[in-house]
Chain A
Amino acid sequence: MILPIGPVHPGLKEPLRLKLHTRGERVLSAEIDYGYVHRGIEKIMEGKTWQKAVYLSERVCGICSYIHSQTFIETFEKIAGDEAPLRAQFLRVIANELDRIQSHLLANSTYFSIIEHETLFMYMLSLREMIMDAIELLAGNRVHMAWNVVGGVRQDAKEVHLKSILDILDKFESQYSKYPQMFEHGPLLGLRSKDVGFISKEDSIKARTVGPIARASSVPTDLRTDHPTYRDHLDFNVIWRDEGDNFARTMNRFDEIPESIKLIRQCIENLPEGKFRKKIDIPAGYADRRNEAPRGEVAYMIETNGNLIKNISIRTPSIMNIDACARYMFKDVATVADAVATYASVDPCIACAERVTIVDEEANKTHEIRGIHNIKTIEL
């Protein structure tokens, strides 16, 4: 029997159709349908001046919006062959890590709500609220920060802001440490999470998973190690696990949060004095840039003529993760409830995934990618 879940479903955060092939309660395989929130944001950006498109790039994703504007800006700085002042780079790290904490907490809260553990779900969201307050204090708004500009950040962080962020982090840490323990040692949570939705290292590499999903199945990849600011000035560990199941993915996110807090503290302690913004002239050119978003690798490829954006292409992490989930994780899952929980554990972000169409110029055809089930039929 084919059991459809979604696109409009109380269990899913965002519109996407899961077609589960079931025999009795057992899920044998799955198909995934995209295309319910396609917005064509790249097409809107083309032909606009780059100053405007900075604010549009944030609208690619509703949860991890910050990293999109940062990658967009860093691509332009790469085209100009220049980089932002060191103070601005540190401030960017602070905002980026705050964004990562809130995104991980939201992802875990969704997972807990799907496995019907409402207590932890509520705890996660109340913890997230503190971080959202810190973001609002620093950048102005809670989700779309509009904090990055080419050549630095828009407004300087004053002593007051940094102090109150440190206070919030102290309060956060004092409350935080018990929740991962609750999840790690809870017997019922363990039953629902351990050995469910398993993906091996080989399959994970084959499916090109990125971010916490790859790191939970012993692929220790983190693009922050290649980022110049993180590499040269900051010290952090790449968290990875080897179980490869729902438990590992959730725990991996839990363990990354203290690392992010550590990074923010380092940044605030060593924050260099000086300019936070400088003027950068943009010449015509092309560049690409990758960064580690909360969900994995995000890549921007931009061609500009110095004023307008000629061509832009964005690659977001969710598309690989969701396809890996459909192909490798939904193999002989015991129950439908476990299948939905597995889907929630890969932290799918449909809003940023749905921008892809493949245009075949010779045959004058357009192919919509609808997940793993039709990607093989597209001949390029």
Chain B
Amino acid sequence: MSSVIWYLYEFARKGWAEKFAGAATDKEIVEAPDRFRDFPEVIRELCIACGACTAACPSPSAIRLVRTKDKDMEEGEGITYPVINTDACIRCGFCAEVCPTDPKTLRTGENHLIREEFTILPAEKMFVIDDYLCIRCKKCMKACKVEGAILEEDNKIMIDQSKCIACGECAKTCPVKGAIKGIYISNVEGQKDVINLVIHYLEDLIEARQDELKGLPPEQVIKFEVPFDDVLERAEGMLPEEEHIRDMVEKVTDRLKLRIITWDDSKCNSCRLCVDECPSGAITYDKEKGVTRDSKKCLRCTTCYQTCPFGVAGSYVARFLLTSTELQDDKILVTVKPALLPFRG
């Protein structure tokens, strides 16, 4: 009986009833500490659609860039912003670290407070401006999404590699073909091999036409075409990724200029003037073999052509242009003309 009275008394207590009605967990338990990394919070208005977060994400499908349409206008651009897939996100906070906007579009924990000098973005390509081709139109500076990544110094346009996020927007807007180059960071040795192979192949093609070139009067040219796939076939398998090879070969063959040196042994009188003049030691004299030229050592400086009194060495300039049309396969147009240099013979 006494216990029943005790229970009634307990129920009647006001504090107990209040506690029962407004039951809640203690706030201190649920409150996350300052550095707790939850799924990143996205502030849509700040996004510049650079794609740095998608490039940095270790999980393959956690971040996606989405573009919305304006409701009022049909052809409006809308806004672009990242969307986090919470099933795939591993909450490492790397996206908040690399985001280049100020203030940051993505926030999580204290990761968005990490300073700029440490935001190392993993990228496949590195973009550089070729000063020789650059016309200083500054279109790339307007197109660049990151403030201060492309700068002007001493009348030269340069890319600041510590700020560049390698989005490639500048290369798309550049009006001069090849002025902004995207270079693959990995496999540098393999890339060198591809360049050497393509250039040696093209040189061999031209040197095979020596007879045509000999009779060529000055101010006239030889034109012919090389199918692009022929060149591409040779480079196959030299780099691990097929796309990289195609990109490399395209860049090498387009707007390429080569100096061609031809060598006619029948005219040689073994005067050995060229042997002394050659700066790289590519031309050697042997009692049995006579004067020989090693094309691998040759620098194409044309000193031998200018020295030789008998016209053994011939110098020509070859230009290459890559044409791509939808109707037919890609072709490389080759133009060869004699070099207009002082000639003693």
Contact B94 A55 (CB under 8 A): yes
Q: Does A178 make an interface contact (CB < 8 A)?
A: no
Q: Does A277 make an interface contact (CB < 8 A)?
A: yes
Please list the 7 inter-chain residue pairs (A to B) with the smallest Cβ-Cβ separation, ordered nearest first: A49-B122, A140-B35, A52-B58, A55-B92, A51-B122, A307-B185, A140-B37
Contact A146 B93 (CB under 8 A): yes
Q: Does B91 make an interface contact (CB < 8 A)?
A: yes
Q: Does A200 make an interface contact (CB < 8 A)?
A: no
Q: Does A237 make an interface contact (CB < 8 A)?
A: no
Contact B36 A55 (CB under 8 A): no
Contact B36 A141 (CB under 8 A): yes
Contact B91 A141 (CB under 8 A): yes
Smallest beta-carbon distance A316→chain B, Å: 20
Q: Does B120 make an interface contact (CB < 8 A)?
A: yes
Contact A308 B186 (CB under 8 A): yes
Contact B122 A277 (CB under 8 A): no
Contact B37 A53 (CB under 8 A): no
Contact sample, A vs B, 20 pairs, CB 8 Å cutoff: A49-B122, A50-B122, A51-B120, A51-B121, A52-B56, A52-B57, A52-B122, A55-B94, A59-B90, A137-B33, A139-B35, A146-B93, A149-B118, A154-B111, A155-B35, A279-B118, A305-B186, A305-B187, A307-B122, A307-B186
Residues of A within 8 A of B93 (CB): 140, 146
Contact A279 B117 (CB under 8 A): yes
CA distance A277 to B117 in the complex (A): 10
Contact A140 B109 (CB under 8 A): yes
CA distance A59 to B121 in the complex (A): 21
Measuring CB to CB, which residues of chain A are less than 8 angstroms from any residue of chain B? 48-53, 55-56, 59, 136-141, 144, 146, 149, 154-155, 277, 279, 305-308
Q: Which residue of B lies closest to A50 (CB)?
A: B122
Interface string of B105-135 (1 = CB under 8 A from A): 0000111001001101111100000000000
CA distance A141 to B94 in the complex (A): 14
Smallest beta-carbon distance A45→chain B, Å: 9
Residues of B within 8 A of A155 (CB): 35, 110-111, 114
CA distance A53 to B109 in the complex (A): 21
Q: Is the interface of A mostly helix, strand, loop or mixed?
A: mixed
Residues of A within 8 A of B121 (CB): 51
Contact A55 B37 (CB under 8 A): no
Residues of B within 8 A of A154 (CB): 111, 114
CA distance A155 to B111 in the complex (A): 8
Number of interface residues of B (CB under 8 A): 26
Most buried by A among B58, B110, B123: B58
Contact B58 A146 (CB under 8 A): no
Residues of A within 8 A of B109 (CB): 140
CA distance A155 to B37 in the complex (A): 13
Contact B90 A144 (CB under 8 A): yes
CA distance A48 to B35 in the complex (A): 27
Contact B186 A136 (CB under 8 A): no
Contact A55 B58 (CB under 8 A): yes
CA distance A49 to B36 in the complex (A): 26
Q: Which residue of A lies closest to B113 (CB)?
A: A155
Smallest beta-carbon distance B154→chain A, Å: 26
With A140-B36, A141-B36: A52-B94 Cβ-Cβ less than 8 Å = yes
Residues of A within 8 A of B123 (CB): 49
Q: Which of B12-41 contact A (CB under 8 A)?
A: 33, 35-37
Q: Which residue of B lies closest to A155 (CB)?
A: B110
Residues of B within 8 A of A55 (CB): 58, 90, 92, 94
CA distance A139 to B118 in the complex (A): 18
CA distance A48 to B91 in the complex (A): 18
Contact B33 A136 (CB under 8 A): yes
Q: Which residue of B lies closest to A140 (CB)?
A: B35
The listed residue (B58, B111, B120, B185) touching A56 by CB distance below 8 A is B58
Contact A277 B36 (CB under 8 A): no
CA distance A279 to B187 in the complex (A): 23
Residues of A within 8 A of B35 (CB): 136-140, 155
Smallest beta-carbon distance B167→chain A, Å: 16
Smallest beta-carbon distance B117→chain A, Å: 7
Residues of B within 8 A of A140 (CB): 33, 35-37, 93, 109-111
Residues of B within 8 A of A149 (CB): 118
Smallest beta-carbon distance A312→chain B, Å: 14
CA distance A141 to B35 in the complex (A): 8
With A139-B35, A305-B186, A305-B187: A51-B94 Cβ-Cβ less than 8 Å = yes
CA distance A48 to B57 in the complex (A): 11
Smallest beta-carbon distance B34→chain A, Å: 9
Residues of B within 8 A of A308 (CB): 186
Residues of B within 8 A of A139 (CB): 35
CA distance A155 to B117 in the complex (A): 14
CA distance A52 to B118 in the complex (A): 14
Smallest beta-carbon distance A85→chain B, Å: 13
Smallest beta-carbon distance A158→chain B, Å: 10
Most buried by A among B33, B37, B90, B185: B33
Q: Which residue of A lies closest to B118 (CB)?
A: A277
Contact A51 B56 (CB under 8 A): yes
Given contacts A51-B56, A52-B94, 19 further A-B contacts (CB under 8 A): A51-B94, A51-B120, A52-B122, A55-B92, A137-B35, A140-B33, A140-B109, A140-B111, A141-B36, A141-B91, A146-B37, A146-B91, A146-B92, A154-B111, A154-B114, A155-B114, A307-B122, A307-B186, A308-B186
Residues of A within 8 A of B92 (CB): 55, 144, 146
Smallest beta-carbon distance B312→chain A, Å: 44
